[in-house]
Amino acid sequence: PIDHGFSLRSVCDVSWMDWCWLDWPQLKIPMSQKTKQYILGLNIDKDVRILKEHFNIQGKALNYFRASNKLLQQGVRNGLTLYEIAILCCRNDDLGEVPSKLEILTEMATELSDAAINNGHWHHTTASKAIADQLSQTTTRTISNFSALVQHNQRQEEIPGMTHSSTASDASSDAGDVVVEQWAAAIVKDVGANDGIHDLTLSMEDEDDDDDDDDDND
């Protein structure tokens, strides 16, 4: 079937002009409690399994589906309207060429996942956890979903049959922990993930502040 709504894209390049409903006035109205409960009750992982097993949807389409749905739920928790959430997921410049915040973060997650898998020193689970720990030191409001995306992408690319084997470089020790932490900090800084997450967090906080100002004016 043709995906007219761009809901299962294999590339994260949706522009404001692709969504004809983006200017509907009802999108800017605060969601009802019933709508919020429905969105927060969505079982994203279950939906992903259904799409994969029953409809043969694979790869990046599932990654973007998962990421956008997690962003939707986080936006609801932060009190955003559907419009405010949507503009985080699509390109908003006139020509639709500037990557969206969701697009930037998913690219960063892919880079960090590749770094965890191909680090050449530690098992990918050790490297992935170190990266997630570094990210968690930046902010708590959006980081859990981003860290989960990093770890999911890492699992998607894991070689079948790969098992965790203890090696000298992966052995648990204080010195080893410091080294992997330093490596993870450098990788996160190089990718710019902290800045990307901080930018998204500020966007959500700005929307919250705007809502508060509107309430005060009322």
- Region 5-24: mean pLDDT is 85
| Mean pLDDT for the chain overall | 76
Does the structure show a pLDDT above 80 at 115?
A: yes
What pLDDT score was predicted for residue 42? 95
Mean pLDDT lowest among 9-13, 37-41, 169-173? 169-173
Between 112 and 31, name the one with better pLDDT.
31
- Region 100-108: mean pLDDT is 86
Between 100 and 210, name the one with better pLDDT.
100
Does the structure show a pLDDT above 80 at 144?
A: no
Does the structure show a pLDDT above 70 at 116?
A: yes
* 166 residue type, one letter: S
- Cβ-Cβ contacts under 8 Å for 5 (sequence gap 6 or more): 19
- Region 78-104: mean pLDDT is 91
Spatial separation of the C-alpha atoms in residues 132 and 184, rounded to whole Å: 9
Does the structure show a pLDDT above 90 at 10?
A: no
pLDDT in tens, 156-200: 544 343 334 334 344 444 556 788 888 888 888 887 755 556 565
Does the structure show a pLDDT above 80 at 38?
A: yes
What pLDDT score was predicted for residue 200? 57
What pLDDT score was predicted for residue 83? 93
Residue owning tokens 């190089």:
190
Distance of CA 95 to the CA centre of its chain: 24
Strand partners, 15: 91
**115 φ/ψ sector (left φ>0, alpha ψ -120 to 50, else beta):** alpha
